Structures are given as structure tokens and as C-alpha cells.
């Protein structure tokens, strides 16, 4: 399965300055049952109004890479590019539960 340039997961970080949390979604904005290196935020997280534009831009920017994290912020309902990260967490952050490391790793070719 070729997934280069396809958004598979959306990572939302909240409360970074106080009690950092991280919640994962799929591209349809459905909450996923795993976390990554931080506690999961149990609060409702509204879907960004510009999610479709964010996904489209992320897929264009990532089309030549087997893995890359493309960061966006939403300001006044418009996407704002943040950065591209090739090795988030230096590649050492752990999934919780751990079996998701293997599940997600199977997408990487």
C-alpha cells in the first residue's frame, strides 16, 4: 500500500504551556484510540474549519516523503503553516497502548 503524501493521522496538542496533552484523530476527525508520548485530552476538540485545506496542503508538502509531520495552526478559520518535522520526538516517543507502534509502522514503506 502506497501512502506517501497521504494524511493518515492528525495530532492535536493542547495545554502545551501547562499540562501538555495530545489527541489523535483520523482524517475524518474521528478520535483514535491511542496516544503518543503525552496524556490524551478527554475534552471535546472541535474540528478546525480549515481541516480540508490543511489536509490538502499537507499532502502536497509530503508527497515525496515516506514519513513527515506537517504542522498547521488555524487562525481566523484559515490554515497557517507551522513547520515540517522529519523526526518528531527524535523518533523515540512511545505509543499508548504500545501495539499501535506496530499498527502504524505497517503504513510506513
pLDDT per residue over 28-78, tens digit each? 999 999 999 999 999 999 999 999 999 999 999 999 988 899 999 999 999
Whole-number Å distance between alpha carbons of 57 and 55: 6
- pLDDT attached to residue 23: 97
pLDDT interval class at 1 (50, 70, 90): very low
Q: How far apart are CA 10 and CA 93, in angstroms?
A: 16
CA angle 102, 24, 14 (to 5 degrees): 135
The residue ranges of every structural domain in the chain are 10-105
Is the confidence at residue 84, as pLDDT, over 60? Answer: yes
Q: Which helix (H) or strand (E) holds 101?
A: helix 99-105
Give, for 52, the enclosing helix (H) or strand (E): helix 51-62
Amino acid at each position: 500500500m502506497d501512502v506517501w503524501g497521504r494524511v493518515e493521522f492528525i495530532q492535536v496538542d493542547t495545554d502545551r504551556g501547562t499540562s501538555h496533552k495530545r489527541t489523535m484523530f483520523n482524517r475524518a476527525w474521528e478520535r483514535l484510540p491511542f496516544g503518543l508520548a503525552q496524556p490524551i485530552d478527554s475534552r471535546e476538540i472541535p474540528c478546525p474549519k480549515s481541516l480540508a485545506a490543511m489536509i490538502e496542503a499537507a499532502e502536497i508538502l509530503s508527497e515525496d516523503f515516506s514519513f513527515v509531520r506537517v504542522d498547521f495552526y488555524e487562525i481566523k478559520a484559515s490554515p497557517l503553516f507551522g513547520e515540517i518535522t522529519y523526526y518528531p520526538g527524535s523518533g523515540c516517543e512511545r505509543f499508548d497502548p504500545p501495539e499501535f507502534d506496530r499498527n502504524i509502522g505497517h503504513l510506513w514503506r
